[in-house]
A and B are shown apart, each in its own frame.
Chain A
Amino acid sequence: MSATEIQSPRSAAKVGSDRIAPQYRRNGASKGNFEMIAWLFMRLSGVVLVVLIFGHLTVNLLVGEGIHAIDFGFVAGKWADPFWQVWDLAMLWLAMLHGTNGVRTIINDYAEKDATRLWLKIVLYAATTVIIVLGTMVIFTFDPCPMVNGVPLPGGFCPAP
């Protein structure tokens, strides 16, 4: 398929400021299924996130003493269990990718200039990468008993000596 560019009379170039005058710029078909996979991912991750988030809220806020039980020790106790490590990891990744993809779509829909679109996406992807990497690191390298110069920090969750 050859490049298709339509020269429409009196369009684009000389239209006023408040006027939307799109030119037809699509040329050839874009290869790959990225948009389809992104669309499917949004639906599937959404369903999984509903389960993960409501499970998270129930265990943290409703079961037992509920919200009053949340402190450093509570989090330390949860992350000592590989089950909750995997749960929180899945929640982190799915929520971040789901949200990022949503914002990506919004940028695609609302940014009018290609340069704006590019920069907004660079900021978005950078922020996502930082949060995912940092969060993953925290989940796996979490230390319930942080030590400074051989002395445990107050509030830590240290094993009895």
Chain B
Amino acid sequence: MTAELAEPASKIELPAHIGGGGDIPSFDVHLRVRRYNPEVSDESTWDDFHVTMYGTDRVLDALHKVKWEIDGSVSFRRSCAHGVCGSDAMRINGRNRLACKTLLKDLDTSKPITVEPIKGLPVEKDLIVDMEPFFQSFREVMPFLINRGHEPTKERLQSAEDRERFDDTTKCILCAACTSSCPVFWTDGQYFGPAAIVNAHRFIFDSRDDAGDMRLEILNDKEGVWRCRTTFNCTEACPRGIQVTQAIAEVKQAILSRKI
């Protein structure tokens, strides 16, 4: 029985009479989904769905169940369904999260769970938004290595310390949860947004990259880092736990120390 003890403790409260992996506690979930179909109406509405889900299920599983068994017209994006591709960022109970990383049992299932598209980007249908303005800002900070030196014969070496400097910002999966949680971005959508700054940060502080100055100049724009109001919405929204607001502050300091 020692092998069983070595297993990590389950976070799900299993009743004593259930053993093994067969039975998982189930509960009823009231899902309230924001619907929008431009071919039918210009107004969006709420649709309510009641489904029976299990303790191991995520919001994405509930959406799947709705789409596969109740209403096939419910539209949302998802690809890997395991928190890596960043396709299914949505506003769940008023907070930006990945549907595939949000367990239903962690939410308050006694109330309806609201699911809306992320804010600040044009909605295409139901939970699907047009990500193009988001990616336009991302492209503008040149999120790729620019190196003016000679091409090395093997690889570009870097010390562990230099790699550590920007480690946090390499984790971004471009799900747009941060940018679409930013109140400044909601206003007119012209602000570069946290995601673009995070991805600029990833190269600005990379010792192998030579275009840091160019990126700092781009982010010194009137829609750049200075529009950040440090509300920390982005840090709270990031499903990867990136310290987004801190990264933005570091870019601000880099611009200041370069100019003064």
Given contacts A11-B130, A16-B42, A36-B259, contact A22 B189 (CB under 8 A): yes
When each residue 19-46 of chain B gets 1 if its CB lies under 8 Å from chain A and 0 otherwise, what string results?
A: 0000000000000000000100011100
Number of B interface residues at 8 Å Cβ cutoff, please give it: 36
Is A24 within 8 A of B188, CB to CB? no
Is B259 within 8 A of A20, CB to CB? no
Would you give 28 A-B contacts (Cβ < 8 Å), ordered by A? A6-B132, A6-B136, A8-B130, A8-B133, A10-B38, A10-B124, A11-B122, A12-B122, A14-B38, A15-B38, A18-B43, A20-B120, A20-B186, A22-B121, A22-B188, A22-B190, A23-B189, A24-B136, A26-B221, A29-B218, A35-B222, A36-B256, A39-B226, A105-B229, A109-B183, A109-B187, A109-B227, A112-B187
Kindly state whether residue A149 has any CB partner on chain B within 8 Å.
no
Is B130 within 8 A of A9, CB to CB? yes
Residues on A facing B (Cβ under 8 Å):
4, 6, 8-12, 14-16, 18-26, 29-30, 33-36, 38-40, 105, 108-110, 112
B window 48-93: CB within 8 A of A: none
Kindly state whether residue B212 has any CB partner on chain A within 8 Å.
no
Query: In the bound complex, how far is the Cα of B186 from the Cα of A4, in angstroms?
Result: 20
B window 219-260: CB within 8 A of A: 220-224, 226-227, 229, 252, 255-256, 259
| Residues of B close to A30: CB separation below 8 A | 221-223
When each residue 133-144 of chain B gets 1 if its CB lies under 8 Å from chain A and 0 otherwise, what string results?
A: 100100010000
Is A19 within 8 A of B124, CB to CB? no
Query: In the bound complex, how far is the Cα of B197 from the Cα of A134, in angstroms?
Result: 43
| Residues of A close to B100: CB separation below 8 A | none
Query: In the bound complex, how far is the Cα of B223 from the Cα of A4, in angstroms?
Result: 15
| Residues of B close to A109: CB separation below 8 A | 183-184, 187, 227, 229
Kindly state whether residue B217 has any CB partner on chain A within 8 Å.
yes
Kindly state whether residue B202 has any CB partner on chain A within 8 Å.
no
Q: Which residue from B44, B120, B189, B223 sits with its C-beta under 8 Å from A16?
A: B44
| Residues of A close to B190: CB separation below 8 A | 22, 24-26
Q: Which residue from A14, A19, A21, A38 sits with its C-beta under 8 Å from B44?
A: A19
Kindly state whether residue B173 has any CB partner on chain A within 8 Å.
no
Q: Which residue from A15, A18, A105, A110 sits with its C-beta under 8 Å from B122?
A: A15
Interface core residue of B184, B187, B226 (most chain A CB under 10 Å): B226
> Distance (Å) between the CB of A34 and the closest chain B CB?
7
Is B119 within 8 A of A15, CB to CB? no
> Distance (Å) between the CB of A71 and the closest chain B CB?
42
Query: In the bound complex, how far is the Cα of B69 from the Cα of A15, in angstroms?
Result: 30
Interface core residue of B120, B130, B140, B259 (most chain A CB under 10 Å): B130
Kindly state whether residue B211 has any CB partner on chain A within 8 Å.
no
Query: In the bound complex, how far is the Cα of B255 from the Cα of A8, in angstroms?
Result: 32
| Residues of A close to B187: CB separation below 8 A | 109-110, 112
Is A19 within 8 A of B123, CB to CB? yes
| Residues of B close to A21: CB separation below 8 A | 122-123
